Amino acid sequence: MNALGIALFALVILISVSLHEAGHMGTAKAFGMKVTRYFVGFGPTLWSFRRGETEYGLKGIPLGGFVKIVGMTPQDEDADDPKAMWRFPVWKRSIVMSAGSIVHFILAAVAIWGLAVFSGLPNPDLPTKVPSDGQPAVLTVQPCVVTSLPLRACEAKDPASPASQAGLRNGDKLIAVNGTAVANWGDAIKQIRPLTAGQTATMTVLRDGAPQTLQLTPATVEREMSDGSVQKVAAIGVGLDATVPYLVKYGPGEAVGASAQYAGTMVGATFEALKEFPKRIPALFSAIGGEKRDPNTPISVVGISILGGEAAQEGAWSMFVGLFIAFNLFIGIFNLLPLLPLDGGHLFIAWFERIRSWVYARLHKPDPGRVDYFKLMPLTYTVILIFGAFTLLTVTADLVNPISIYK
């Protein structure tokens, strides 16, 4: 395990979270709100200084950071201060509360643009969530199939490939297997490997812009699976056309549009991951118990730091940056969920108060005033307890049975 790489990614996370808090502080100060403290880390103070009404400093436990804005709610002890946050218009408070997430989105956007220009982004024609599977199934037809491991070049003793016998050609784009649509190479592998040797299969390909259907009889071969086991699977004797790039580089200007499209894809994937969280929890318990870790299970900052360390160790800096992007998008979106104590919870209450006051005014009723945060404390503590338990679960799984990129 690459301790230096892990530490590097953890430092990147710390910087991101510190900038998140700086976003809150900067916008609050810009609107004239009183900010009394801005610290990186938690625990005992290692170093601090005061400038104006704000104390800046560094704490001993480098896990996150915090900013103290006076009077975030009318029930705060310092709510009587004339510069208390709750006294400001709802639109100003909304900007301050969302500024942290906006910082995460800006960091992700800049990183995506950097990838687009310097390393390349996934080809937009590759609709997949798994980068290694994402290349479209544009085929190179092999002259033979190597039936047993290790894989090697074709020899005279090897049987002719079913693909070549059936008339498949280099450059054919596989779009369906036995009537099941194939969007990319990953889909092709999933459809071909379960086929039965000796039983006719139908392949639909796109050739010169027109679909064509061919029939072939798959061969049985030995192949190594992702878990390291060797299994008998079906093969037809095709590979990927190396002329179809998975990554596409862009110029600085055109990278803006490509980055926006890629960011939209990642945002959608983030929401999908959030929806899948509840059903993934049992797999975390199984992983802690010793079962093979499902790579789709949620991970903590510990887990993503381990992945970042692996990427750094292998020199896969594009993957390192990709993890950084995924982290910032996830934190930015998660933090806007309408739940206390998240920023999204404060945003929700602020706009609930504003809408409720508007409705009461239209009904010629007295303004009901501000929400009593004390009455919401049981719900807030419940959310904190659930998040805390979930964090403990994911950290434990990441320490006991971490997800690995290369294993």
Q: Taking a C-beta distance cutoff of 8 angstroms, is the pair 216, 163 a contact?
A: yes
Q: Taking a C-beta distance cutoff of 8 angstroms, is the pair 340, 383 a contact?
A: yes
To 10 degrees, the CA torsion angle through 307, 309, 315, 317? 70
One-letter amino acid at 298 equals P
Rounded CA gap, 361 and 142, in Å?
Answer: 75
At which residue do the structure tokens 């784009």 appear?
Answer: 173
Q: Which two tokens mark 84?
A: 């208390």
Q: Which two tokens mark 39?
A: 């610290």
Name residues whose C-beta falls within 8 Å of residue 242's C-beta, 6 or more positions apart in sequence. Answer: 140
Name residues whose C-beta falls within 8 Å of residue 147's C-beta, 6 or more positions apart in sequence. Answer: 158, 159, 219, 220, 221, 222
Rounded CA gap, 406 and 132, in Å?
Answer: 12
Give catalytic status of residue 21 as yes or no. yes
Q: Which residue in 21, 53, 224, 254 is the catalytic one?
A: 21
Closest CA to 114 of 12, 250, 19: 250
Residue 336 carries which DSSP code? T
By annotation, the residues acting in catalysis are: 21
